[in-house]
Structure formats: C-alpha cells, structure tokens
C-alpha cells in the first residue's frame, strides 16, 4: 500500500498531519515476473572405508522423471489442451511468460506426461458418466494421421468425457456408453440428435434434441405449400413448449403444472406430424414419418426430471474440440489422440 499525504497546506504552507477518513483510491494490478525454479539433484556414490564397497544414493521417489516438474507439465498441457496453442506457440509462451527454455520435442514429451497422469482419473470419469441418470451425447469427425476417426462426447451435469473411436456407427455409441458385452445395458436417459447410430437405444430411454427438430420444422417451412403450413404450425408449438420450459427452469412453474400444460402441445405436435406424413412432398413425408417412429422420445423431458429437451450440453463442449481440429487438422498418432481425449475430459466445461 502506498499512502500519499500532502506535507504542507497549499494555502498557507503550514505543516499538515493526520489521516483522511475517505481517501481517493486507485488500485493498479501488476503481474510479477515469473522465474523458473531449477532444482539440481546430485546422486553421490561413496566408497566404504571399511570394506571398500561402493554405495549409490537412491533418487527421491518424488523426483520428476524428466527435465520438467509437474507444474511445468500442467502449464504445457493447459496451453495446448485448453487454450489451443500449437506446440511451437507453447514453446514461445513458456519462454516469454515463464522464462523457461523448452524445445518442441520437450513440449511433446510434457503432453505425454500429462496424458499419462490423466489416464486413471479419465477412466474414473468415463465410468461415472456411464452410470448417470441422464447423459447428452454427440460426435464429430477427427483425423488421426491419414485415418478418419470420430470424437464422441458424453456430457453430464458434473463430468464431460471425450472418446476417440474408429467409427460413427452404433458400435461407437455403444462403446461411449459402456455397452461392451451382451449383458451390459444403458443406465438412464440418453439425449441426442436423430442420428441413426443411436437407433438401437430403447426410445423410452432417449430424448431427441428439440433444437435439431426445430431446424427440421424450419426446413418444412422453406419447402412451401402444405409443408410450409405444417412446418409453421410445428414451430408455433415449439415456441410454446420452450416458453413453458423456461418457466420450469426459472422456478415459476412446478413440474406437475408443466406436465399438464404440455399435454395439448404433445397432442398437437403428434397430429401435425401425422398430417405431414401424408402430404404430397416426399421429403416432408419422410421427415415426419421418421420422427413419428421415435415419438415417445420427443417427450422424455416432460416425464423425467433432470432431462434436457435439447442436446446443447453435449454440443457446447464439442465446439472446443471442433476448433482444435480446425487448427491442427487432427492428430498424427495414437498417443496424440489419447492426449486429446484425456485433456478435453480433464479440463472444466462451461455450462450454459
């Protein structure tokens, strides 16, 4: 704290003393210069004066195996995994911000160390997510060298996990959800879009994303004719539905009241979809008929507390991965892919 007091009166020049009860204040924040802490470990070998045997001291069990400590590894992981810096940019940042010399090869080594450290907690996060009463899932394409893979995400209120899987098919969704053996089963409700890779799920355990459905209905409007009439009517019901949902979210509507208010909307949407499945436009028929096959999955959020009507919880964290893919064009090795899925799982996700 720096106290600035006048020494003498500006009027008569008399000596001034005392304290100002309400001084003007101005705070200035500065970042301290960061200097790396270098610890040198010296392993001594000593010769016994009695028998002549040589004994070498043991390295400390907590000594890092490489040339950088845990905090340095974490910074590299944060810069490359959370902030999206390239390895070359991370090298520059470590030098500029932390005055720490690190080569490109060492940046890669530190990523490997971070990945290894995250392996066990990430496995615990995956098991946790698979056991939750509600998950939102999504996927996006990824490149590992010349091979096309898919980055899958499962989002829960506390944990979001990422897995790079070789396929976008039902097998990929099953792997994400922990369905490995014939005796395995899905726990809870799965929120998703209408991608066919999820069609093996029991519709009673699904919640279709109403943001995607809204886009489907807008497409009906843009086709014109009878499709437009049905599409516009469906969009009107969607607006009413989200109005009620926002009220239940902000606590101005109880769940029993919400369920009662949703009944006419559910009935109207069903009637409109059935009308749409009989219009002259083949695309509209196809869209409405396919949605009707999963009609029960439209309204799971009405029946089950804790289920969201949209898939935004999965789509938001997946955007970060999409930006990473656009910058780096994917990964070049299996080890690089493990770093991606583990560090994306390990960093906190922003909830809307």
- pLDDT tens by residue, 103-133: 999 999 999 999 999 999 999 999 999 999 9
Look-up of token digits 């994303």: 209
pLDDT of residue 324: 85
Residues 318 and 182 in one domain: yes
Residues 337 and 231 in one domain: no
Range of the domain at 92: 67-189+313-352
With b for 16 or more beta-carbon neighbours within 10 A and e for fewer, the 302-322 pattern comes to beeeebbbbbbbbbbbbebbe
Rounded CA separation 87/260 (Å): 55
Q: Which of 104, 72, 111, 139 is nearest to 337 (CA)?
A: 111
Residues 74 and 185 in one domain: yes
pLDDT of residue 349: 60
| pLDDT tens per residue, range 72-82 | 999 999 999 88
Is residue 200 a part of any domain in this protein? Answer: no
Model pTM score: 0.83
Axis-axis angle for helices 225-250, 210-223 (nearest 10): 150
CB 187 within 8 A of CB 174: no
CB 193 within 8 A of CB 216: no
Residues 283 and 317 in one domain: no
- Return the structure tokens found at 58: 């043991």
- Strands 147-155 and 206-208: what pairing? unpaired
CB 165 within 8 A of CB 180: no
pLDDT mean across residues, the chain: 92
CB 276 within 8 A of CB 288: yes
Given a cut of 60, whether residue 55 has pLDDT beyond it is: yes
CA angle 101, 106, 109 (to 5 degrees): 150
Is residue 17 a part of any domain in this protein? Answer: no
Residues 166 and 217 in one domain: no
Structural domain count of the chain: 2
């Amino acid at each position: 704290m720096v106290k600035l007091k006048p020494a003498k009166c500006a009027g008569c020049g008399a000596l001034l003393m005392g304290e100002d009860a309400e001084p003007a204040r101005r705070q200035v924040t500065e970042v301290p210069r960061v200097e790396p802490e270098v610890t040198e470990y010296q392993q001594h070998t000593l010769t016994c004066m009695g028998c002549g045997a040589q004994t070498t001291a043991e390295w400390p069990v907590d000594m890092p195996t490489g040339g950088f400590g845990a905090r340095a590894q974490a910074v590299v992981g944060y810069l490359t995994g959370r902030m999206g810096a390239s390895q070359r940019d991370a090298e520059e940042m470590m030098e500029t911000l932390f005055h720490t010399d690190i080569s490109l090869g060492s940046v890669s080594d530190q990523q490997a160390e971070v990945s290894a450290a995250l392996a066990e907690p990430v496995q615990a996060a995956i098991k946790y997510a698979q056991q939750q009463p509600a998950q939102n899932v999504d996927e996006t394409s990824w490149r590992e060298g010349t091979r096309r893979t898919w980055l899958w995400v499962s989002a829960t209120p506390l944990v979001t996990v990422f897995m790079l899987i070789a396929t976008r098919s039902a097998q990929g969704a099953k792997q994400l959800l922990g369905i490995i053996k014939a005796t395995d089963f899905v726990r809870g409700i799965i929120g998703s879009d209408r991608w066919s890779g999820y069609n093996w799920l029991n519709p009673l355990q699904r919640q279709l994303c109403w943001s995607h459905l809204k886009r489907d209905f807008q497409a009906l409007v843009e086709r014109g004719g009878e499709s437009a009439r049905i599409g516009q009517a469906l969009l009107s019901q969607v607006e009413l539905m989200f109005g009620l949902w926002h009220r239940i979210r902000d606590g101005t509507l109880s769940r029993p009241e919400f369920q009662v208010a949703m009944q006419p909307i559910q009935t109207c949407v069903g009637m409109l979809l059935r009308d749409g499945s009989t219009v002259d436009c083949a695309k509209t028929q196809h869209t409405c008929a396919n949605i009707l096959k999963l009609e029960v999955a439209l309204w799971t959020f009405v029946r089950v507390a804790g289920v969201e009507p949209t898939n935004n919880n999965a789509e938001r964290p997946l955007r970060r991965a999409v930006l990473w893919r656009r910058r780096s064009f994917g990964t070049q090795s299996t080890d690089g892919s493990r770093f991606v899925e583990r560090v994306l799982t390990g960093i906190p996700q922003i909830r809307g």
